Copies of this chain bind each other. A is one copy, B any other.
Amino acid sequence: MKVKTMITATVLGVAMSGAVWAGGNAAAGADKAKTVCAACHGPDGNSIAPDFPKLAGQNEDYLQHTLKAYKEKTRTNAIMNGQAAGLSDQDIDNLSAFYANQKGLQVKH
């Protein structure tokens, strides 16, 4: 019985951590994006500068993975390592949900 409870708790824990990871709040992400990301990536992720990536409509999983990699410095970029250092895991989920739900525009440079 004890073992079964432990297994159940473990399975539930893994399932819940998965849910948290996938559960970004796009509205909270929009607020954060305005203050942290918009200067380079545009107000809705349609980056104005041609050498910065467009984030609007990007896959949510990929955005999470990338921001996490910048935060943990497994992906290195002078600007983004600094920016991501100040983001919590929840910020990363929220920002990813926000950008994934924006419409990618054909920006002509």
Contact = CB atoms under 8 A, between A and B. Distances in A.
Interface string A68-86: 0000000100000000000
Contacts of A52: 59, 62
A94 interface: no
A103 B106 contact: yes
A71 to B, nearest CB: 17
A60 interface: yes
A51 B47 contact: no
Contacts of A54: 57-59, 62, 104
A22 to B, nearest CB: 10
A50 B57 contact: no
